[in-house]
Amino acid sequence: MSSTVPNFDAYIFSKQPNYHEPTVRQEFAKAVPNLRTIVVYCYDPRVIEIPIAVAEEFDEVYPGTIVTDVQGNKVASSATLFEVVVAGGRAVDALRSITVAQHLFGIENIVIVHHTYCGATTFTPDGLIEAYKREHHQDIAALYERASISIGDFATSLKYDTRLVRESKGTPKHVNIYGYVYNTDTHGLTKLVEDKGLVTANP
């Protein structure tokens, strides 16, 4: 292993000479020029096909192809769907990613997907909190809203999560928000929540 530390600053846009944030933001948006939809789902390896199912449901391009420049550098993608992968597909863990995606690219749809046989259905908020006290000697009772910790009912969790996203200041009002259940066995999607965004008139 080399003891030489690479100059990682060379890969940080904000540290480049003549950095101008508005210009960089405008140019960076071209990396994924047609991004429209974010899908939030679980990191369970059994459900890695959720983005494919959502792409088919919303007529999106996923995973798309990588675009390179003449030097072979990866400069863009044809994908129109982005993934946010978190435990149980819970919205609480996706809020910052949604805000950043809007800032960098602009989005139209947020799709929250919970799946059958999810690990988040195997425990209760009290069970998790008590286990942390017993096993790690930490009181995490106030760390998260209880409704975001586990999944006791799919309709309830999706209604809560879509409302959480809608009420976040980091979620644009025009964005459509959906809640789906993914069947791990059949790979089918069932829509339980549809929350259309505000339609604004063109100036």
Note whether residue 136 is domain-resident.
Answer: no
Note whether residue 62 is domain-resident.
Answer: yes
Note whether residue 4 is domain-resident.
Answer: no
> Looking at residue 4, what is its pLDDT?
80
Distance CA(56)–CA(128), nearest Å, equals 36
Distance CA(77)–CA(65), nearest Å, equals 6
Residue 44 is assigned to a ligand binding site: yes
Note whether residue 161 is domain-resident.
Answer: yes
This prediction has a pTM of 0.92
Note whether residue 148 is domain-resident.
Answer: no
Residue 187 is assigned to a ligand binding site: no
> Looking at residue 73, what is its pLDDT?
87
| Tally of structural domains, the chain | 1
Note whether residue 106 is domain-resident.
Answer: yes
Note whether residue 203 is domain-resident.
Answer: no
SS3 letters for the chain?
CCCCCCCHHHHCHHHCCCCCHHHHHHHHHHHCCCCCEEEEECCCHHHCCHHHHHHHHHCCCCCCCEEECCCCCEEEECCCEEEEECHHHCHHHCHHHHHHHHHHCCCCEEEEEEECCCHHHCCCHHHHHHHHHHHHCCCCCCCCCHHHCCCCCHHHHHHHHHHHHHHCCCCCCCCEEEEEEECCCCCCEEEEEEECCCCCCCC
Residue 42 is assigned to a ligand binding site: yes
Domain range enclosing 86: 19-120+154-189
Note whether residue 137 is domain-resident.
Answer: no
> Looking at residue 11, what is its pLDDT?
85
Reading the block at residue 110, the tokens are 């947020």
Dihedrals phi, psi of 110, to nearest 5 degrees: -120, 120
Residue 195 is assigned to a ligand binding site: no
Q: What is the CATH number of the domain that holds 178?
A: 3.40.1050.10
Cα atoms in the Cβ-side hemisphere of radius 13 Å centred on 174: 10
pLDDT tens, the chain, 203 aa long: 556 878 899 889 999 999 999 999 998 888 888 899 999 999 999 999 999 999 999 999 999 999 898 999 888 899 999 999 999 999 999 999 999 999 999 999 999 999 999 999 999 999 999 999 999 999 999 999 999 999 999 999 999 999 999 999 999 999 999 999 999 999 999 999 999 999 865 54
> Looking at residue 109, what is its pLDDT?
98
